[in-house]
Chain A
Amino acid sequence: MVRLIDLDVSGASLAARLALGAILGGLAFLVFYYVPANLLGIASNLAGVEIPPQAAGVISSLIEPALPFVGLALAPAIFLCALFRGTKAYGPLTIALSLIFAAYVFLFFHGGAISVAAPVDQLVGGLPMELSLSIRVDMAMLMALFLVPPALGVAKGVLLMMKRD
C-alpha cells in the first residue's frame, strides 16, 4: 500500500493513477499547449505549403501570446488531479484546474471578441490597390457557454473540500 496524502492506495492503483494522469496530462499538453504554440507549423504541414509571412501574421494574431503557457499549466494540473483523486488535495486541485481552464477559455476567446487585421493587398497578390481588412468576431455568448464547465468545476471543488472537512 502506498499513502497518498490521506489515502492509502495499492501499488496497482497508484500505477493506474500515474498512467491515467500521464495520458490525460499528455493529451492536455498536446491539445492545449503544443497545438497553439505551433499552430503555424501545423497549418503549414496540413496545407502542404509555406505560409506567407503576411498570412502568418494574421494566424498568429488569433492566438493570445499567453495562451500556450496557460495550456502548459493545464497538463500538470490534470496529472495531479488524476493522481490525487479521492484525497483531500483533490478539491483544491479541482478548483485550481477549473480556474486555469477558465483562464484558458478567456484567452482562447480573446475576452469575448477577436479582432483580426489583414493587409488584403499583401495576402492576395495582383491587386492593384492597397486594402486592409479588419474583422471583429464577437463570441462573448459562446465564451460564456465554455466558462460554465470550469465554473461548475470550481463549485465541485468546493463541495469536495466541504466533504473532506
Chain B
Amino acid sequence: MRLSTGIKLFNALIVLTVVAASAVTFLVAMNAIAVVSSLRVGEPSFNSSGSVVEISFPISVSNSGPFDVSDIRVSADLKDEDGGLIASASSQPFSVPAGARGAQRSVSIRIDLSEIPQERLSALFSQARNLTLSASAGAALVPFVSVSAHLSGSIPWEPPVKDFELGEPVLLGYNSTHLVASMPVRFENPSGISVEGSVNFLLVDADTGSEIGSGHLEVEAPPRSEFAGELQFSLRLPENTTALMLEGRTFRCNATLGFKIFGIQVHSVSTPVEMVWDPPVASPYLGSPSVTPYNSTHSVFILPFAFTNANKLITLNGSVKAGLVVGSSLVAECQPVPVHVPPGSGFVCDLEMLVPNWALSVPGTLVLSMDTQLGSTSLEVPVNG
C-alpha cells in the first residue's frame, strides 16, 4: 500500500517537474527575447580631453520578464597588425532587475592618442592595413542561463590621409624680410572617419637646417572625400637681399607637415621643397660709353644700361644712377633714372652725366648704383681714361 502511494506520488512529481521545467524554459526564452528586443543604442556622444577621445554609446534596456538579467558586460579591443592597442571599449558590469523599465547605461570607446606611439599613429593615418577586433559580451538570466559571446576578426582599415601630395609652390608676395608663397595640398580620405584638424607647415633650410618658414592650414575632409587646399606660408628672406636682386637662387627646403586632430599631432609628412627665385635684375648690360663735348671744361658722358626682370613675381621699383670716381673723389654724377620694371620686362636707359674734361684722361672708377625696394646695390667698373 505504501509502495503504491509512493509510486502515485512519484507519478505526480514527474508530471509536476515536467510542467515546471517546461514553464521555466518558456519563461526564460520569453524573458530573453523581451530583453533583447528592448535593447536600444542611442546616438554616440564624443568627448575629448587632452589626448583622450571618448565615444559613448548610451544603451537603454528593459526587463519585463520574471528573472533578473545580471552581469551584463561588454568589452572590446582594437589592435593593429603588430598587436598594439589602438582603442578599447568597456562597460562596468550591470544588472537589470526583473520589471525594470528603460534602464540606462553606456558603453564607452576610449582612445588615448598619447598612448599610441607616433609611428603607429602615423601609419594608421596614411597606410591601409588590417586591424584586429576582439569583442566580448555576456549576460545571465539568473539562475538558469548565462550567455557569453566573443567576436573576433580582421577589419580592413582605410587611412584617412591617402596619396598626400604637395604641389609646386607659387610665390604670392613679399616684403623686405619675407616672401609669401602658397602650395597646393591634396589628399584623399577614403576612410569612414572625418579628418578635422589642422596642418602645420614647417620649412627648414636644407643646407643650414634652420627654420626659414612656417604656415598653417585648416583641414576638413569628410569621409570618402578628396581634400584640396592651398597652404600659405611665409619664407624668411636671407639678410643680404641685395644678392637676391642680381642672382638667381633655388631655395632648397625640407617641408614638414603635421596633421593635428584634437590638438594632437597624429601624422607628419616630410618632403623636400624647391622654390626657384629668378633675379629681378638679370643679365645686366653696360654698353660702350660715348663722350661728346659739352663746353670747354666739361663733356657729356653717356652710359647705356639695360637689364631684364626675370622674376615672375616682383615689379622692380627704384632708381638707377651712375657716378665717376677719381681717386677717392666723386667728380661726376648723373640724375637718378626711375626704374619701374614689371616681371618679365626689360629695362633700357642711357645714364648721362657731365664730366670734367680732365677726368676723362685719368684712370677712375665708374660706379653704377641701384636703389630698389629690395635694397641698394652698386657696380664698379674701372675706366682707364
List chain A residues, Cβ under 8 A from B379.
none
List chain A residues, Cβ under 8 A from B21.
142, 145-146, 148-149
Q: Name which residue of chain B comes closest to A160, CB basis.
A: B7
Q: Which of A110-165 contact B (CB under 8 A)?
A: 120-121, 128-139, 141-142, 145-146, 148-149, 152-153, 155-156, 159-160, 162-163
Q: How distant is the Cα of A130 from the Cα of B150 in the complex, in angstroms?
A: 14
Q: Select one of A133, A136, A145, A156 contacting B20, CB under 8 A.
A: A145
Q: Select one of B3, B10, B11, B146 contacting A138, CB under 8 A.
A: B146
Q: Name which residue of chain A comes closest to B22, CB basis.
A: A146
Q: Is the CB of B151 within 8 A of A149?
A: no
List chain B residues, Cβ under 8 A from A131.
133, 151-154
Q: Is the CB of A133 within 8 A of B6?
A: no
B18 interface hit (Cβ, 8 Å): yes
Q: Select one of A133, A142, A156 contacting B149, CB under 8 A.
A: A133
Q: Is the CB of B155 within 8 A of A132?
A: no
B28 interface hit (Cβ, 8 Å): yes
Q: Is the CB of B145 within 8 A of A142?
A: yes
Q: Name which residue of chain B comes closest to A154, CB basis.
A: B10
What sequence of 0s and 1s flags, for each residue 1-26 of chain B, a beta carbon within 8 Å of any chain A beta carbon? 00110110011011001101100110
Number of interface residues of A (CB under 8 A): 28
Q: How distant is the Cα of A137 from the Cα of B32 in the complex, in angstroms?
A: 12
Given the interface pairs A152-B10, A163-B4, the reply to whether A132 lies near B17 with Cβ below 8 Å is no
Q: Is the CB of A139 within 8 A of B17?
A: no
List chain B residues, Cβ under 8 A from A148.
17, 21
Q: How distant is the Cα of A160 from the Cα of B3 in the complex, in angstroms?
A: 8
Q: Is the CB of B11 within 8 A of A156?
A: yes
Interface size class of B (residues with CB under 8 A): 20 to 34
Q: Within the complex, what minimum Cβ distance (angstroms) separates B133 from chain A?
A: 7
List chain A residues, Cβ under 8 A from B20.
145
Q: How distant is the Cα of A149 from the Cα of B10 in the complex, in angstroms?
A: 9
Q: Select one of A121, A135, A152, A163 contacting B153, CB under 8 A.
A: A121
Q: Is the CB of A145 within 8 A of B153?
A: no
Given the interface pairs A132-B153, A149-B18, A163-B4, the reply to whether A137 lies near B145 with Cβ below 8 Å is yes
Q: Is the CB of A163 within 8 A of B7?
A: yes
Q: Which of B217-268 contact A (CB under 8 A)?
A: none
Q: Is the CB of A136 within 8 A of B147?
A: yes
Q: Within the complex, what minimum Cβ distance (angstroms) separates B209 from chain A?
A: 45
List chain A residues, Cβ under 8 A from B83.
none
Q: Is the CB of B145 within 8 A of A129?
A: no
Q: How distant is the Cα of A131 from the Cα of B153 in the complex, in angstroms?
A: 4
Q: Is the CB of A141 within 8 A of B144?
A: yes
B327 interface hit (Cβ, 8 Å): no
Q: Select one of A120, A128, A136, A145 contacting B151, CB under 8 A.
A: A120
B385 interface hit (Cβ, 8 Å): no
Most buried by A among B10, B20, B152: B10
Q: How distant is the Cα of A131 from the Cα of B146 in the complex, in angstroms?
A: 23
List chain A residues, Cβ under 8 A from B127.
none
Q: Within the complex, what minimum Cβ distance (angstroms) separates A103 from chain B?
A: 16
What sequence of 0s and 1s flags, for each residue 359-376 of chain B, a beta carbon within 8 Å of any chain A beta carbon? 000000000000000000
Q: Is the CB of B150 within 8 A of A133?
A: yes
Q: Select one of A130, A136, A146 contacting B148, CB under 8 A.
A: A136
Q: Within the complex, what minimum Cβ distance (angstroms) separates B317 from chain A?
A: 61
Q: Select one of B7, B14, B143, B147 contacting A137, CB under 8 A.
A: B147
The residues of B with any CB-CB pair to A shorter than 8 Å are 3-4, 6-7, 10-11, 13-14, 17-18, 20-21, 24-25, 28, 133, 143-156
The 9 A-B residue pairs with the shortest CB-CB distance in the complex, in nearest-first order: A131-B153, A156-B10, A163-B3, A145-B21, A129-B155, A148-B17, A138-B146, A135-B149, A130-B154
17 contacts between A and B (CB under 8 A): A120-B151, A129-B155, A129-B156, A133-B149, A133-B150, A133-B151, A135-B150, A136-B149, A137-B146, A138-B148, A141-B143, A145-B144, A152-B10, A152-B14, A152-B17, A153-B10, A159-B10
Beyond the given pairs A128-B156, A135-B148, 20 more chain A to chain B contacts, judged by CB atoms under 8 angstroms and listed by A's residue number, are A120-B151, A121-B153, A129-B155, A131-B151, A131-B154, A134-B149, A136-B148, A137-B146, A138-B145, A139-B145, A142-B21, A142-B24, A142-B25, A146-B25, A149-B14, A149-B18, A152-B10, A155-B10, A156-B11, A162-B3
